[in-house]
A and B are shown apart, each in its own frame.
Chain A
Amino acid sequence: MKSKLSLGSAFGLLLKRDLILAMRRRSEFVNPLLFFVLVVALFPLAVGSDPNLIRKIGPGVIWVSALLASLLTLDNMFRSDFEDGTLEQYMLSAHPVSILVVAKVIAHWLITGLPLILVAPLLGVLLSLPSDAIMVLILTLLLGTPVLSLIGSVGVALTVGLRRGGVLLSLLVLPLYVPVLIFATDAVNTAAIGIPITAQLSIIGAMLFLALALAPLATAASLRISLS
């Protein structure tokens, strides 16, 4: 059967649908955001309020919290679609699943990744980061959080069929987040002492494109396995 829907419009429709669904259930993107802010706020309480120490660990704290917040929301990416059977319809559609996956990932990033980036400057101020470092922090989050969503999508696709996949998902995905974390925090720390950071940003950008090229294929294959 030849599909009347072109790939482009299928992509757009899927993206729009996910965004509308998210707007109707606001807690889905507000809760992770609160979680993110709360975790960051816990650190000064735990390590003491010495501004120098906080400034030193600030980028790491913000990045680790962003990582955990994005991990927390990953499971939503395919869960409801899996439960009501929509996911099987994607598999049956005439379009390549890997492309449809990209639409899902972009929607997920817009719902959960982008809000984190918007509050990050505020948290940077709270952790007394210098303004240059805050700018770089936002840049690294912009480049880095899509990588987290892309890598995470593979993990979600592998665990979506399991009833209690949550902790397992973090076990699978966290080790794969290491490179992004290292280069992003290194970039912020380096920028704080006034050294150019093009190398780090280029490497995170390279990771983004590598993930964009490969992760959807792995995700599509994993979804097929999870649904079989």
Chain B
Amino acid sequence: MRFYHRLASPRHFYQIAGQWIPWLGAISLILLAWGLYEGLLVAPTDYQQGESYRIIFIHVPAAWMSMFIYLIMAIAGAINLVWRMKMAEVVLVSSAPIGAVFAFLALVTGSLWGKPMWGTWWVWDARLTSELFLLFLYLGIIALHGAIEDKRTAGRAVSILALVGVINLPIIHFSVEWWNTLHQGSTVSVMGGSKMDSRMLRPLLIMSFAFKFYYGMILFMRARNEVLDRERNTSWVRQIAEGKAS
């Protein structure tokens, strides 16, 4: 419990995050190398899609991450609104650009995959469309945060927006699905057993863990910067700036 209280203080967070970043980076790098090796060299060729299916090892983890990060942001937003916790705000604000990049990556890899499979870069298919709107929700959060000058006000406004967005996401997803579906059905499921060869599934899961650790690393780096920016008038930040402490 004490550990969590310490994490909630910007100064301790700054130090703890600084110690964790190299470890998160190393783990993510190892997992990334392992996952790519398994995905590109070990996993068998798909009998229908040939070699081009291998982009799945980037595409699917990126799409998962884009949703996972939005969820994290909504949770951080709720924590911020209820307990006025500074660090929750920092996590929310620092996560938004990372999530947006993952959503963008999922869209780009999806369209690269769509070209050989469906014969076109873009189709107005349910999942592509809801991923696109997820990207717009991220961009809205980033834009709102940029537009409000006072950091605390911006953080709280963004918390509300993240919560409104998280209620709307399933509705948007469901309605878009009603509207049109061409996308291949989900092939990975935890409960019902996957419809995928385990040699393909393993690299997929490894890659998704690699992405998670990568997110952790980038989040901590961004959050450290954000903390420094917010606390720039305190003595401990000044000490760091003057090179007396790290």
Contact = CB atoms under 8 A, between A and B. Distances in A.
Given A178-B176, A182-B176, A218-B163, A225 B147 contact: no
A183 B172 CA distance: 11
A161 B144 CA distance: 12
B143 interface: yes
Interface in B140-191: 140, 143-144, 147-148, 153, 156-157, 160-161, 163-165, 167-168, 171-172, 174-176, 178-179
A172 B172 contact: no
B139 interface: yes
B80 to A, nearest CB: 11
Contact of A175 (B144, B160, B172): B172
B104 to A, nearest CB: 15
Nearest to B152: A228
Given A182-B179, A186-B179, A168 B147 contact: yes
Given A218-B160, A221-B81, A225-B160, A176 B178 contact: no
Interface string A99-142: 00000000000000000000000000000000000000000000
B122 interface: no
A62 B171 CA distance: 23
B164 A175 contact: no
The main secondary structure of chain B at its interface with chain A is helix
Contact of A171 (B140, B157, B160): B140
Is the interface on chain B under 10, 10 to 19, 20 to 34, or 35 or more residues? 20 to 34
B198 to A, nearest CB: 37
Contacts of B175: 178-179, 182-183, 203
Interface string B69-97: 00000000000010000000000000000
Most chain B CB atoms below 10 A, which of A158, A203, A226: A158
A98 interface: no
A158 B158 CA distance: 9
Nearest to A215: B164
B160 A221 contact: yes
Contact of A225 (B137, B156, B165, B167): B156
B147 A162 contact: yes
B179 A171 contact: no
Contact of B140 (A161, A165, A172, A228): A172
A145 interface: no
B37 interface: no
Nearest to A158: B157
Given A176-B168, A182-B179, A222-B160, A159 B144 contact: yes
A175 B137 contact: yes
A176 B147 CA distance: 19
Most chain B CB atoms below 10 A, which of A159, A183, A225: A225
B143 to A, nearest CB: 6
Contacts of A218: 160, 163-164
A190 to B, nearest CB: 11
Contacts of B163: 218
Given A218-B164, A221-B81, A171 B176 contact: no
B136 interface: yes
B133 interface: yes
Interface in A165-223: 165, 168, 171-172, 174-176, 178-179, 182-183, 186, 203, 207, 214, 218, 221-222
Interface of A: 154, 158-159, 161-162, 165, 168, 171-172, 174-176, 178-179, 182-183, 186, 203, 207, 214, 218, 221-222, 225-226, 228
8 contacts: A161-B153, A171-B143, A175-B168, A176-B168, A182-B176, A218-B163, A218-B164, A222-B160
Interface of B: 81, 133, 136-137, 139-140, 143-144, 147-148, 153, 156-157, 160-161, 163-165, 167-168, 171-172, 174-176, 178-179
Q: What 6 pairs between A and B have smallest CB-CB spacing? A: A179-B175, A175-B136, A172-B140, A182-B175, A225-B156, A175-B133
Given A154-B160, A178-B172, A182-B175, 18 more contacts: A158-B157, A161-B148, A168-B143, A168-B144, A171-B136, A171-B139, A171-B140, A172-B144, A176-B165, A176-B172, A178-B175, A179-B168, A179-B171, A182-B176, A182-B178, A218-B160, A221-B81, A228-B156
